Amino acid sequence: MTVILEQFVQYLTASGLMSASEVSSFQDSLPPERKPKDGESLARELFKAGKLTKYQAQSLYQGKTKGLVFGGYRVLDKLGQGGMGVVLKAEHLRMKRVVAVKMIAGAALKSPDAVKRFYREVEAAAKLNHTNIVQAHDADEQDGIHYFVMEYVEGKDLGTSSRNRDRYPSPRLSITSCKPLVVFNMPTSKASSTRIKPANLLLDKREQ
């Protein structure tokens, strides 16, 4: 599918990632031989210049504009997906702090019970404060987007590391799910979920 230049610009401005004037100024700054002729070439130039991430560019090229900017956050990448929602890597627009954001998605959005359960889990997370628990930062709803913002832990999940036979002498563990109801009984670990399984455990890169 080829996206014409004007259509991609419309997607880009509708997403809130860039204003029309910012897009125009960027195109004017390019030399004649690199002037975008279609949406794909503009996306490529914006990615090369660091104006868009790969995830943002791909989403926009597919016409997905909603949810890339919301509640003071800019989505950077997709970290994972479960039955209830999706976990994204995002950046606070003013603080420039990178965070993990869990959103309700798919069929769960149509279930009032699922939404209530989501916020019960958010409230449980907010009551916990421990160095071994992933920190909860924020939670809200905007334009039908229910989201939970938490500490971002950079690293591989334990399931992937185990399959790759990686070595991790003293890992600091974290969990990407949003049920922070337990604490591991070990000094180097972090937890934020009752869903204890390798795929939900992250090995913190900073502690290795």
Residue 153's pLDDT is 80
Start-end of H helices in the chain: 5-15, 20-29, 39-48, 54-61, 112-126, 158-163
Distance CA 43, CA 67 (A): 18
Q: How much is the pTM?
A: 0.79
72-98: pLDDT as tens digits? 999 999 988 877 788 999 999 999 999
- Three-state DSSP class for 119? helix
13-65: pLDDT as tens digits? 999 999 999 999 999 999 999 999 999 999 999 999 999 999 999 999 999 99
Closest-CA residue to 202 (of 163, 180, 175): 175
b/e per residue, 147-174, with b = 16+ CB within 10 A? Answer: bbbbbbbebbbbeebeeeeeebeebbbb
Between the alpha carbon of residue 70 and those of residues 73, 148, 191, the distances in Å are 5, 12, 27
Amino acid at 194: T
Closest-CA residue to 89 (of 74, 70, 104, 110): 74
123-139: pLDDT as tens digits? 888 887 777 677 889 99
